[in-house]
Amino acid sequence: MRKANIQDEIAVNKLKSAVLIVFVVLFLLFIGWVLGEVYDPTMAYFFLALAGIFSFFFVFYSYYNSDKIVLRSVKARPANKKEHAYLMNVVEGLAIAAKIPVPRIYVMETDAINAFATGRNPENSVICVTTGMMKKLNRSEIEGVIAHEMSHIQNYDIRFATLVAVLVGIVVILSDMFRRNLWFSRGSREEKESSSSVLLIVGIIFALLAPIFVKIVQLAISRKREFLADASGAYLTRYPEGLASALEKIAKEEGIIKVNGAVAPLFISNPLKARQISNLFSTHPPIEERIKVLRGM
């Protein structure tokens, strides 16, 4: 049953990744066409062609370098055998148990307890942990957290979640640029005030809806993936209490990690939890509920 669930999840994550890429490409093409209409309608198709070339290279670059972009954004550094020998042994052992290639290992300098996995597939994956996690968790708890992240790698959660972090980020940036450029265009080309005003309204709507879009897509990553990774991680270690205890310690922490909101869903626990207004819009299920499920196994 577990194998069937994992295979179903892999198929769904691959499909969601493809749909996301198509959506972002279409969005970039639309932005290019509208900008052409604003600046010079006779050049609209030229702008569309430029947007097509840009979107192709951007998506291609993002797909193959999304893990590097994410790691750079959180200022993570590679782990080394001298300083992180135990961590590397745990990762190697659990990778063998999960029957996947050993992920590259990175470390974030922060006292908070957290971790995340990134990459495009098991052959090109990364697990990043905080220094706080290594200091505050015991052996079984660290193994539980690593097993959870290993499960995200095993079922291709990382591909969709990492693409979301990078591709959605550019959508938000372009929406903001779009809004600013439309304001400038309106002031500098009064002879096209009527058409520019209509496009200006479209631009403002994009700017207002972009944050909502980000939240919807982040929620599309689904809380279910955290429960599945918890269960799969517990299966790898054969000790659900290890992860449950780690989550219990995370729940007691009050601090946050200053990361980009688009990257936050990658973590095992929301690093921006202090800013969370409602569980309804949280990218992670309540920790208390996850602990309860783990201890009920």
pLDDT in tens, 276-297: 444 555 667 888 999 999 998 8
pLDDT reported for residue 86:
93
- Tokens 């309860």, residue? 292
33-76 pLDDT tens trace: 776 776 677 777 887 888 888 888 888 888 889 899 999 999 99
Residue recorded with tokens 């971790």: 115
Report the C-alpha gap between 114 and 54 in whole angstroms: 35
Kindly report the average pLDDT of the chain as a whole number: 80
Full DSSP string of 72-116: HHTT-EE--TTTSHHHHHHHHHHHHHHTSPPPEEEEE--SS--EE
Phi, psi of 86 (to 5 degrees): -65, -45
CA–CA distance, 199 with 204 (Å, rounded to integer)? 9
All structural domains of the chain with their residue ranges:
2-73+162-220, 79-158+223-295
pLDDT digits (tens, 9 = 90+) for 232-241: 899 899 999 9
Q: What is the pLDDT of residue 106?
A: 97
pLDDT at 72 (0 to 100): 92
Name which of 273, 277, 271, 269 is nearest 258 in CA terms.
271
CB 62 within 8 A of CB 169: no
pLDDT computed for residue 100 by the predictor: 94
Question: For 79-83, 92-96, 162-166, 205-209, which range has the lowest pLDDT when averaged over its residues?
Answer: 205-209
Distance CA 297, CA 288 (A): 15
For the whole model, what pTM was predicted? 0.80
Q: How far apart are CA 189 and CA 204, in angstroms?
A: 18
**Contact between residue 119 and residue 102 where contact means Cβ atoms under 8 Å apart:** no
Res 272: pLDDT:
78
The reported pLDDT for the residue numbered 34 is 72
What percentage of the chain has pLDDT greater than the value 90?
35
What is the CATH code of the structural domain delimited by 79-158+223-295? Answer: 3.30.2010.10
User: Which range has highest mean pLDDT (21-35, 54-68, 157-171)?
Assistant: 54-68
Which residue did the predictor score with more confidence, 62 or 13?
Answer: 62
Run of H or E including 3? helix 2-39
pLDDT at 211: 59
Active-site residue identified among 9, 141, 143, 149: 149
- What is the predicted pLDDT for the residue at 23? 79
Q: How high is the pLDDT of residue 125?
A: 95
Condensed to tens digits (0 to 9), the pLDDT of residues 102-160 reads 999 999 999 999 999 999 999 999 999 999 999 999 999 999 999 999 999 988 888 88
| 4 token code pair | 């069937």
SS3 of 118, please? Answer: strand
Question: Two tokens at 202?
Answer: 């479209």
Share of the chain above pLDDT 70, in %: 73
Q: Does residue 16 carry a pLDDT above 90?
A: no
- Residue 188, pLDDT > 50, answer no
Query: Tell me, what's the pLDDT at 241?
Result: 95
Q: Is 149 a catalytic residue?
A: yes
Please report the pLDDT score of residue 191 as a whole number.
46
Q: What pLDDT was estimated at residue 275?
A: 46
